[in-house]
Amino acid sequence: MTAPAIVLSAPLRARIVAIAERAYPDECCGLLVGRDDPDGRIIVSRLVESRNMRTDRAHDRFEIDPQVRIAIEIELRGQAERVVGHYHSHPDHPAQPSATDLELAFEPSLVWVIVGVADGRAGDVNAFRLDEQQGQFAPLPIV
């Protein structure tokens, strides 16, 4: 599988970082809305924040509010944009998919943007997409 690039503007990236730092020591989460361009890149145009529904394990798990997902899917009906992925943070862990992330990856077309946050300060911001044939995440370049 050839991995496309994800286009994430500096302001959107900064917003994800701010959300991740604000949520620390818990995981933040939200949706990425955008479109595919003719070159195969995934263009992120906006973020949709969600509260983390995993209040029992918010420090190491996330779940996007289903009402947030339903509302944005309804809003996007008939439009060129779609939900292209989601973002979440890894408090005091690297910005790499965890075993739990792999278990919960049931939409292979979605991009996973992960922010590592150590002691309340965001570090790496990385993107991935599930490679179903390999049964693991493949990194996506962020441009």
- The domain limits of the chain are 6-140
Q: State the pLDDT at residue 141.
A: 97
Query: Can you give the pTM of this predicted structure?
Result: 0.94
pLDDT, tens digit (0-9, with 9 covering 90-100), for 85-143: 999 999 999 999 999 999 999 898 899 999 999 999 999 999 999 988 888 999 999 99
Which of helix, strand or coil describes residue 115? strand
CATH number belonging to domain 6-140? 3.40.140.10
Mean pLDDT of the chain: 95
Using CA atoms, how far apart are residues 111 and 30, in angstroms rounded to an integer?
Answer: 12
Burial class (CB in 10 A: 0-12, 13-18, 19+), 98: middle
CA proximity to 6, closest of 89, 122, 132, 111: 111
